[in-house]
Amino acid sequence: MKQLQFSAYAQDDLLKIARYIALDSPVRARSFVAELRKQCELTAQFSNIGVAKPEYADGLRMLAYQRYLIFFSATDDAVNIERVLHSARDLQQLFGSGK
């Protein structure tokens, strides 16, 4: 299994998700972020999982979990979680043209 790494953006995304959900339920915030992290672990086991998103960046892939999108890239040794975003976000604005 490849090493799993989170970018600073992805770490911040998860923190923001937890804070938002915690406004209603701190317990659910912890469990939901744990679920998201579990999905991220799948990418380390199966780095070709999800859908290629070359329109945002070369080598970028996306895995959906409920209403969230996990963006990641893989090298020979590691999987890098780049972003974890709600699907309602303007992805074009966040990623720009990507290339």
Could you name the CATH architecture of 3-89?
Answer: 2-Layer Sandwich (3.30)
Q: Which residues of the chain have pLDDT under 50?
A: none
Reading the block at residue 63, the tokens are 């895995």
**Nearest 5 degrees, angle CA 25-CA 30-CA 31?**
95
Q: What is the pLDDT of residue 58?
A: 93
Alpha helices in 1-99 (DSSP H): 8-22, 26-45, 91-95
Q: At what angle do helices 26-45 and 8-22 cross, to 10 degrees?
A: 150
Q: What is the pLDDT of residue 97?
A: 56
pTM listed for this prediction: 0.92
**What are the domain boundaries of the chain?**
3-89
